[in-house]
Amino acid sequence: MFGKRLGHPKPDPIKAGQRSVWDFPRPPALERVRGSLRIGLGGEVVAATEAGLMVLETSHPPVYFFPRADVDERFVRASPRGKTHCEWKGAATYWDVVVGEILLEAVAFSYERPVPRFAELRGMLSFYAGPFIERGGACFVGDERAEPQPGGFYSGWVTSGYAGPFKGIEGSWGW
């Protein structure tokens, strides 16, 4: 997959209908999602939209953002987790998701005051897929069930429309 001496990744072959994450730019790009996004947990729809945005960055699967109006506010609350800073987008604020007895801490984030280049993300929420899936929920891009970006640190959603390898796999820290 990548050279052991230098750790340079070798892009996976692109299949019909796929985009390679190695063709995504750095700094990242922002695109509109064509189609729907949906997150479910505990028999409830936490968020569903036809107006999503995605951030595309070299070596990462898309990071999806939901307009706040398309997130069910009954299930989302501000997290006590401190803010983090993205060199491209600005300060991130974290959100918990609570559905019945299920609590997912700091599982979503937003950019309340993003840098001008990413102004469209203001207030939108992005969700880590892994914690939802681990607790029996699901994240969908269109009708396809997404998987979390490997490693648990990054928030991309992996679907069949993108070829890797993806940042987060073992040995990818220096990419």
- pLDDT 10s digits, 72-113: 999 999 999 989 999 999 999 999 999 999 999 999 999 999
Does residue 29 surpass a pLDDT of 70? Answer: yes
Does residue 143 surpass a pLDDT of 50? Answer: yes
Please identify which residue in the block is written with the tokens 């070596």.
59
Confidence at residue 89, expressed as pLDDT on a 0 to 100 scale: 94
Listed in sequence order, the residues at least 6 apart from 13 whose beta carbon sits closer than 8 Å to its beta carbon are: 163
Confidence at residue 7, expressed as pLDDT on a 0 to 100 scale: 63
Distance between CA atoms of 72 and 70, rounded to whole angstroms? 6
Confidence at residue 9, expressed as pLDDT on a 0 to 100 scale: 85
Confidence at residue 6, expressed as pLDDT on a 0 to 100 scale: 45
44-54-77 Cα angle (round to 5): 40
Long-range Cβ contacts of 47-50 (<8 Å, 24+ apart): 47/71, 47/72, 47/125, 47/127
Question: Among candidates 114, 132, 138, which has minimal Cα distance to 53?
Answer: 114
Distance between CA atoms of 162 and 80, rounded to whole angstroms? 34
What is the rounded average pLDDT of the residues 123-134? 97
Does residue 168 surpass a pLDDT of 80? Answer: yes
Question: What's the DSSP call for residue 171?
Answer: T
Does residue 134 surpass a pLDDT of 90? Answer: yes
Confidence at residue 37, expressed as pLDDT on a 0 to 100 scale: 98
Instruction: Quote the pTM value.
Output: 0.94
